[in-house]
Structure 1
Amino acid sequence: MSTSVTSAPVNPTKKYAVVERALGGKVISIETGKLAKQATGAVVVRLGDTMTLVATVVAAGREGLDFFPMTVDYREKVYSAGKFPGGFIKREGRPSTKEILTSRLIDRPLRPLFPADYRMEVQIQAGPISADRVNDPDVISILGASASLTIAPDVPFLGPIGAIRLGRIDGTLVPFPTADEMAESDLDLVVASTREKVTMIEGFGKELPEPEMLEAILEAHRLNQELITLQLELREAIGLPPLVHPEPAPDPLLEELYRRYAADLREVKKIKLKQERNAATKELQERVVAEMAPEPSPGQEPSPDAPTPLQVKSAFYTLQERVVRELILDGYRSDGRGPKDLRPISCEVSLLPCAHGSAIFQRGETQALVTTVLGTGADEQKVDGIMEEYSKKFYLDYNMPSFAVGEVRPIRGPGRREIGHGMLAERSVAPVLPDPQRFPYTIRVVSDILESNGSSSMASVCGATLSLMDAGVPISDPVGGISIGLVEDPKSHRHILLTDIIGDEDHFGDMDFKVAGTQHGITGIQLDVKNVGLSEEIIRGALDQAREARVEILRTMLRAIKRPRDSISMNAPRLIQLQIDPQKIGMLIGPGGKTIRRLQEETGTKIDVEDTGIVTIASPSAAGAEECRDRIEGMTAGVQLGKIYEGRVMSVKDFGAFVELLPGQDGMVHISELTDGYINSVSDVCRVGDTMLVKVIAIDEQDRVKLSRRQALAERGIADTVESKPRPPAGEGGDRGPRSGGGDRGPRSGGGGRGPGGPPPRDRDRDRR
């Protein structure tokens, strides 16, 4: 482990400095004073050849704000990876899912580390300026955001924070894993922390037991201390004094509201039903505003010392937080539950007849309607960005309309919260899905939140599991999820953990710790805090409490449906996969796609062919898919000696007929092999376009195929309906020659016969007779 600090003046207004440190065999560097020098604080963080620029600007807030106006935007410019933007417009447009998720990842650990009364506008903009497609710039952008705030003068940031991603390969934790290392890892864990506590966790694993997940979180917290030290060295290198975190001043208005209205608010917050509780809270707030900030009488000037209605409303919100926290620490929850009690849970499946799978998951006043739709390879989601393009065969979308919380607001596209909740649920469920080779369907799950009062993302996880099983998706284990809350008294350090938090406990509590997993271990974990972070004791307790609740939830879920259905919905397409020789892909596709198009039209299927020779057949019916599979197998396996085929007559000659057995492969039925009797002409038996049952009787060294109609009919026990005469005795003019040569299509040298083994030239004198 090494540290180096260099300083060289580049610009008189911004001192240049760069610091670096080796961590886990990888070098992290932070540079400032060279780019974006008019920002309040700007840094470039480098890992490998990936460099991300983070610029922070702090400006005076708008008058009357009652919240902290911080915005975070992470945007990827694809020039950083030496690429052009995809699509028709060759310019970056609206933020992608990855950009939105990374913006949230940066925001979540920083927002709690500002004083509660801070109202300056803070804008953080981050994004890669160089991307090596090996090292992901998302986590080093968190580090850059913290560093830019750390070197911003006069900003009361309660940091810095360290941020690191850990992978795990063969049981060994790997800091800042590369893309190739992540492909082998059974853990993707991002942890941000201060000197003392963990402030953010985002992790996904392949059913990791709680002790192993805790070990990884604590190791990440330990490594983060090196990254915090690095930022403090950068601040010192540019000549800024050590960070000072002043204590917030008491609020006289809040103390007055507490003295006069705390008792009334306690009674309101004990109302069990959410809608009634909210209505009573609003009524009390209106009374408080009217009494604390009354409108002046006509002609009367308002007192300059009197609070404004906006100030009273802001103080009343803080009063709610204080009262709710006191109630919880005294052992009282609004709905009367104990700290570890779950709300009543009900589950139902197969509600929607046209969806391939559907479920309702209800927990208290949170209700998720979750549906599953199965599709083909054409339905895969293409994902492009600065990393390598890839396709997703599983995706989960989360929607929460305004009526879910009894509100009125315009209908817009999915917001950051909806995208974040959907990805959390998606990645939590993904580890239990079957391998695409076993279950080749593209899977889309949609969670519509119809009621919300606490942890709708974890309700989506539970509902997704039920819906997938109802659709017949053979998941390896059911996944459940739960959210654990926290209320901690910072003075006495007394705390209480709350299972299955409701809205007020989320809003006014100190954390929302979501944990999803199976009976064997964790598949998804996400921590958001509103305080300055969590200790090891609290993290350990939350993981244990979440496991107890998860096991109970899984038991309830399995009463609705015990295992995945034996077959998929009748409404779902039938998919069959088979492997063919890659060298025969051209034969399957045919010239200009003629063969594969004809096959799709005749069987009513859709065929996808991969370069590896994997063929996926999709059909509305099982019969169509199976017919298509049989034809492809027959086509790519080649013509087999002794096998009977139903072929199509492609051409008729004097000496026989050419029959297509498989696309691009045909054989000849000699006139003597058409029927047992004697016929004057091949057209007595068949014409071009007819279907004909034939048996392969010979394949010569040049792969020329000889066929027999009469042997095929005899073997299948089918009566020949062709009218014919008895065969003339051998040696007479009617003898067409030995059968053994009937497959040779070329004329014999020196003769006008029909072909090798065919009948001799006709006796013209006999014909005249």
Structure 2
Amino acid sequence: MFKEVRKSMQWGPETLTLETGKIARQADGTVIATLGETSVMANVTFAKEPKPGQDFFPLTVHYQEKYYAAGKIPGGFFKREARPTEKETLTARLIDRPCRPLFAPGFKHEVLVMCTVLSHDLVNDPDIVAMIAASAALTISGVPFMGPIAAARVGFVDGEYVLNPEVADMDQLRNNPEQRLDLVVAGTKDAVMMVESEAYELSEDEMLGAVVFAHEQIQPVIDLIISLAEEAAKEPFTYTPPDYSDLYAAVKAAGEEDMRAAYAIRDKQERTNTVSAVREKIRGALTEEQQEDPNLGSALKKLESSILRGDVVRNGNRIDGRSTTTVRPITAEVGLLPRTHGSSLFTRGETQALVVTTLGTGEDEQIIDALHGNFRSNFLLHYNFPPYSVGEVGRVGSPGRREIGHGKLAWRALQAVLPSATDFPYTIRLVSEITESNGSSSMASVCGGSLSMMDAGVPLKAPVAGVAMGLVLEDDGAYAVLTDILGDEDHLGDMDFKVAGTENGITSLQMDIKVQGITPEIMKTALAQAKDGRMHILGEMGKALSEGRSEFSAHAPRIETMTVPTDKIREVIGSGGKVIREIVETSGAKVDINDDGVIKIASPNAEAIQKAYDMIYSIVAEPEEGKVYKGKVVKIVDFGAFVNFFGKRDGLVHVSQIENRRLNHPSDVLKEGQEVWVKLLGFDDRGKVRLSMRVVDQETGEEVKKEAKADAE
């Protein structure tokens, strides 16, 4: 009934298996990839005819994690998977980015790729398995896909690269001091197509070595996919790339010079408006048949690309007149918003980010429900890209894939320099509002985020800057690497290569390649050029602020931490939370306690923090024998007085220990509610507290000197 094909190989410490022919047979291509006991099913379907007038390639990639894969039931009221999580969105982008450039030029049929996590062993991350499964499914589907690709994750421990480290080793990288790198690389047999990483100040050579190592490790996986396709692939879909050479010639003749003049305009808005006008002029010069040709958009883009690329490679002339290594003018400001905890405005050319920092308490940590378990994050970065930032009118809604991806890239760049949670017990939220954009707004978010946190008083290990590099690669092998690319250079170029880091090394690297042929030499050149650009940007940022402020904003919470024995946690919380609620209400401070006995006390008011601290201390601390305490008489009896002297602890002052003379009754000198000084003499055989007043000067609270004490006795 089934025509199953199954291929396996040993890949690192695990077995990688690809299988097809048994499940989801009506899809154009279905492959289940398994690494260890993590399995992901990838399904590919594509339309056999393009939609009329379709002028772009409609590729859609979905990645979904099913909770049953890890033996879990989803949380929430409905108890089923709902909107995509951040991890699902980012993984869908990881799959899309290296695959999209490999479809045949001009192919505009709708393609859907769906990846579903079926099993998760909590050891092997399903994102890498999903990328391999998607590539294999595309390869056997018959769609004109010039793959296959494969992917691998690389770690870096003790100077050695590690292939596909376990989930536990990479989870919350900031809490694992031995692991310095989380790098994902995807590529074909001959070229690297995509890089995504977070790192702990790796050098350019170490980062390049990791990329090369990953590309070597994916070679046998590509061979395995080819082996599967040789037995299971469907007949290739009949597709002939459109020949629009005559149309391109007409477009070129109608407006090449006007388009060249338009791209010589340095102001973005004026250039954009002029380019649009030239496009309309070209359309008006074409025949009616040419105007209705679905390849007209491709012909116009080819004309624009040839103008920009030719000028850069042949003459080194960029749109705005800069050299290939020059960074646009930079202005950095801090402390713009008086009521926020920290703020900065970072402007680089026509790209601008307003970044705001808010400091919170443990209550503000984000609880992340992942397949491999729940964990908390105390560093949040949210990136917003409103339509006005590019002078457009558009729909405003919830964050899209692009905003989530750019925000995560900036998060990766900054997380490496954050102080440890024990040294800085705050939840940090950054919000980057992109107010202008003309290339590399994610790197502006990195620069602005670094400044904003320092303005808020966050003690960063070092400032972080980021820069976006571009590439123009010609068919004859000539190329130019561009520093700090504009939006048009990104759109019409061959590479988007973002590098962020400190003076000491790289903290994040993201690379997307649109062509095959990027060599290690080109990447090395780009990394070296990016380092020069990064150092220049750090210098400009330093003019505004070079290190974290020593004082917090008056509106930011202060947090003090204390640690109590775990067996005292219940006493601090109280039955049903009664005690901790009383502490919060009485002191006015926020109090958060975890299972390890670490208590965070937060308030903008130092007195409130101290009051809460004292209340907690009185609950958990034990009175010390021989120490003097100030107490209050709570009860008088014939044989003495009971004094509340330590939190809720009471002790007996025997009548013989009240004064250095004989008393008929304690009430002769004491009354309930009276404040007295007492010394803790010790505990009797039954554990009862023994106190003394007579050995303490009741005026000063100081213990009576030994000589005076002896005389009194």
| Residues 671 and 682, structure 1, Cα contact 8 Å, conserved in 2 | no
Match of 2:103 in 1: 114
Classify 1:306/1:567 alpha carbon distance in 2 versus 1 (closer, same or farther; 3 Å): closer
Q: Which shifted more, 35-44 or 595-604?
A: 595-604
Letter in 2 for 1:18: R
Q: CA deviation at 1:647?
A: 3.8
Match of 1:176 in 2: 164
Indicate the SS of the match to 1:716: coil
Letter in 1 for 2:354: L
Match of 1:143 in 2: 132
Classify 1:93/1:649 alpha carbon distance in 2 versus 1 (closer, same or farther; 3 Å): farther
Match of 1:637 in 2: 621
Letter in 2 for 1:202: E
1:79 aligns with 2:63: no
Indicate the SS of the match to 1:120: coil
Q: In the aligned structure 2, how far is the partner of 1:152 from the partner of 1:484?
A: 35
Unmatched segments (≥5 aa) in structure 2: 171-175, 703-711
Q: In the aligned structure 2, how far is the partner of 1:108 from the partner of 1:261?
A: 33
Classify 1:684/1:141 alpha carbon distance in 2 versus 1 (closer, same or farther; 3 Å): same
Classify 1:478/1:659 alpha carbon distance in 2 versus 1 (closer, same or farther; 3 Å): same
1:352 aligns with 2:337: yes
Q: Which shifted more, 616-625 or 91-100?
A: 616-625
Q: CA deviation at 1:379?
A: 0.5
1:215 aligns with 2:199: no
1:238 aligns with 2:271: no
| Residues 107 and 241, structure 2, Cα contact 8 Å, conserved in 1 | no
Match of 1:617 in 2: 601
Q: Which shifted more, 539-548 or 697-706?
A: 697-706
Alignment partner of 2:59 out of 62, 70, 85? 70
Q: CA deviation at 1:675?
A: 6.3
Alignment partner of 2:387 out of 402, 423, 432? 402
Indicate the SS of the match to 2:371: coil
Q: In the aligned structure 1, how far is the partner of 2:633 from the partner of 2:390?
A: 69
Q: Deviations over 1:328-377 (max 9, x none)?
A: 22321111000000000111111111111111111000111111111111
1:502 aligns with 2:486: yes
Classify 1:669/1:452 alpha carbon distance in 2 versus 1 (closer, same or farther; 3 Å): same
Q: In the aligned structure 1, how far is the partner of 2:86 from the partner of 2:636?
A: 62
Alignment partner of 2:196 out of 199, 202, 210? 202
Q: In the aligned structure 1, how far is the partner of 2:464 from the partner of 2:499?
A: 10
1:375 aligns with 2:360: yes
1:597 aligns with 2:581: yes
Alignment partner of 2:515 out of 503, 506, 531? 531
Q: In the aligned structure 2, how far is the partner of 1:306 from the partner of 1:560?
A: 55
Letter in 1 for 2:29: G
Using structure 1 for the length normalisation, give the TM-score.
0.86
Q: Which shifted more, 628-637 or 473-482?
A: 628-637
| Cα root mean square deviation, aligned | 2.4
Q: In the aligned structure 2, how far is the partner of 1:323 from the partner of 1:539?
A: 24
Residues 242-253 of structure 1 aligned to structure 2 (within 5 Å): 249-253=243-247
Q: Which has more radius of gyration?
A: 1
Q: Deviations over 1:269-289 (max 9, x none)?
A: 000000000111111112122
Q: CA deviation at 1:112?
A: 0.5
| Residues 9 and 16, structure 2, Cα contact 8 Å, conserved in 1 | yes
Q: In the aligned structure 2, how far is the partner of 1:159 from the partner of 1:528?
A: 16
Indicate the SS of the match to 1:565: coil
| Residues 59 and 112, structure 2, Cα contact 8 Å, conserved in 1 | yes
Q: In the aligned structure 2, how far is the partner of 1:450 from the partner of 1:239?
A: 49
Q: In the aligned structure 1, how far is the partner of 2:188 from the partner of 2:30?
A: 20
Indicate the SS of the match to 2:65: coil
Letter in 2 for 1:479: V
Match of 1:749 in 2: none
Q: In the aligned structure 2, how far is the partner of 1:479 from the partner of 1:605?
A: 34
Q: In the aligned structure 1, how far is the partner of 2:435 from the partner of 2:695?
A: 68
Alignment partner of 1:268 out of 262, 270, 275? 262
Alignment partner of 1:333 out of 299, 315, 318? 318
Q: In the aligned structure 2, how far is the partner of 1:709 from the partner of 1:573?
A: 41
Using structure 2 for the length normalisation, give the TM-score.
0.93
1:18 aligns with 2:19: no
Residues 240-639 of structure 1 aligned to structure 2 (within 5 Å): 249-293=243-287, 305-308=289-292, 311-330=295-314, 331-489=316-474, 491-532=475-516, 534-639=518-623
Indicate the SS of the match to 2:577: helix
Alignment partner of 2:671 out of 686, 690, 699? 686
Q: Deviations over 1:607-630 (max 9, x none)?
A: 222222222111221232234334
1:53 aligns with 2:57: no
Q: In the aligned structure 1, how far is the partner of 2:581 from the partner of 2:254?
A: 80
Classify 1:427/1:691 alpha carbon distance in 2 versus 1 (closer, same or farther; 3 Å): farther
Letter in 2 for 1:85: P
Match of 1:665 in 2: 649
Q: In the aligned structure 1, how far is the partner of 2:130 from the partner of 2:466?
A: 29
| Residues 43 and 54, structure 1, Cα contact 8 Å, conserved in 2 | yes
Classify 1:278/1:197 alpha carbon distance in 2 versus 1 (closer, same or farther; 3 Å): same
Q: Deviations over 1:583-628 (max 9, x none)?
A: 2223333344333333333322222222222221112212322343
Q: CA deviation at 1:255?
A: 2.0
| Residues 53 and 128, structure 1, Cα contact 8 Å, conserved in 2 | yes
Residues 117-128 of structure 1 aligned to structure 2 (within 5 Å): 117-128=106-117
Letter in 1 for 2:463: P
Q: CA deviation at 1:708?
A: 3.9
Aligned residues: 695
Letter in 2 for 1:360: L
| Residues 50 and 136, structure 1, Cα contact 8 Å, conserved in 2 | yes
| Residues 292 and 312, structure 1, Cα contact 8 Å, conserved in 2 | no
Letter in 1 for 2:357: T
Q: Which shifted more, 586-595 or 269-278?
A: 586-595
| Residues 615 and 647, structure 2, Cα contact 8 Å, conserved in 1 | no
Q: In the aligned structure 1, how far is the partner of 2:238 from the partner of 2:465?
A: 43
Indicate the SS of the match to 1:260: helix
Match of 1:27 in 2: 15
| Residues 257 and 316, structure 1, Cα contact 8 Å, conserved in 2 | yes
Indicate the SS of the match to 1:384: strand
Classify 1:548/1:662 alpha carbon distance in 2 versus 1 (closer, same or farther; 3 Å): same
Q: In the aligned structure 2, how far is the partner of 1:403 from the partner of 1:615?
A: 44
Residues 706-721 of structure 1 aligned to structure 2 (within 5 Å): 706-709=690-693, 712=696, 714=698, 716=700
Unmatched segments (≥5 aa) in structure 1: 1-9, 295-304, 719-738, 741-769
| Residues 481 and 516, structure 1, Cα contact 8 Å, conserved in 2 | yes
Query: Identical aligned pairs, as a percentage?
Result: 44
Q: Which shifted more, 588-597 or 494-503?
A: 588-597
Letter in 2 for 1:151: I
Indicate the SS of the match to 1:325: helix
Q: In the aligned structure 1, how far is the partner of 2:678 from the partner of 2:275?
A: 85
Letter in 2 for 1:279: N
Q: CA deviation at 1:411?
A: 1.4
Q: In the aligned structure 2, how far is the partner of 1:243 from the partner of 1:156?
A: 7
Letter in 1 for 2:191: K
